[in-house]
């Protein structure tokens, strides 16, 4: 077993465990922290796929911005405490059976696939390709998005100043 396989297993387990904990935890903040574990693990998987740009965006946007946005939403809303889960127990078995069947099908499919004999060459770095496309073919839409974001930022500042005065 080489290092890439070990990291793949670790990142995959982190993503799966984080996703399961998102569903299991009752407290929203704990579920959000589990989602962060899933986001970071997915970023690691993207790095293993040599998609460094996507991994960086995953870390910045999901693990950073979206997590903080969700944390603000959790903290600023009133949450009911002491909700019961008695009704949920009745619906667990009909859901578990298709999940187990799906896992068996996926496991069977994974073991039937034969890996390629020689590694695939990708050519250029994917970050370099994205940069070239953004600043050549998609220059005008990129600039339009930047102007739109600037207008939204100015609008947010104006609204925030009106509330303070």
pLDDT interval class at 77 (50, 70, 90): confident
Can you tell me the mean pLDDT for 55-78?
88
Q: Are residues 61 and 132 in the same domain?
A: no
Q: Are residues 1 and 67 in the same domain?
A: yes
Among residues 79, 95, 116, the one where a domain terminates is: 79
Q: Are residues 66 and 132 in the same domain?
A: no
pLDDT interval class at 110 (50, 70, 90): confident
Q: What percent of the chain has pLDDT over 90?
A: 40
Answer whether residue 107 is part of any domain: no
Answer whether residue 96 is part of any domain: no
The sign of the torsion formed by the CA atoms of 119, 124, 129, 131 equals positive
Tokens read off for 122: 């990708």
Answer whether residue 158 is part of any domain: yes
Can you tell me the mean pLDDT for 111-126?
74
Question: Average pLDDT over the chain, rounded to whole?
Answer: 85
On whether the CB atoms of residues 62 and 38 are closer than 8 A, the answer is no
Answer whether residue 36 is part of any domain: yes
Return the higher-pLDDT residue of 101 and 110. Answer: 101
Domain count, the chain: 2
Q: What is the CATH number of the domain that holds 19?
A: 1.20.120.1200
Answer whether residue 151 is part of any domain: yes
Which residue range(s) make up the domain with 165?
Answer: 126-165
Among residues 40, 57, 79, the one where a domain terminates is: 79
Can you tell me the mean pLDDT for 88-92?
60
Least confident of 37-51, 75-89, 98-112, 132-146: 75-89
- Residue 38 CA to residue 41 CA, distance in Å, equals 5
Answer whether residue 120 is part of any domain: no
pLDDT number for residue 122: 63
On whether the CB atoms of residues 74 and 29 are closer than 8 A, the answer is yes
């Amino acid at each position: 077993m080489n290092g890439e396989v070990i990291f793949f297993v670790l990142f995959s387990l982190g993503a799966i465990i984080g996703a399961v904990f998102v569903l299991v935890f009752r407290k929203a903040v704990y579920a959000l922290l589990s989602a962060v574990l899933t986001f970071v693990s997915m970023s690691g998987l993207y790095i293993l796929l040599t998609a460094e740009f996507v991994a960086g965006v995953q870390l910045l946007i999901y693990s950073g911005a979206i997590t903080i946005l969700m944390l603000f939403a959790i903290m600023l809303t009133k949450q009911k405490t002491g909700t019961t889960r008695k009704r949920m127990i009745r619906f667990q078995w009909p859901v578990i059976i298709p999940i187990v069947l799906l896992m068996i099908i996926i496991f069977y499919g994974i073991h039937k696939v034969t890996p390629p004999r020689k590694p695939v060459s990708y050519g250029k770095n994917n970050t370099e390709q994205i940069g070239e496309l953004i600043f050549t073919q998609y220059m005008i839409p990129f600039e339009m998005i930047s102007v739109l974001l600037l207008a939204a930022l100015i609008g947010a500042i104006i609204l925030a100043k009106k509330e303070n005065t």
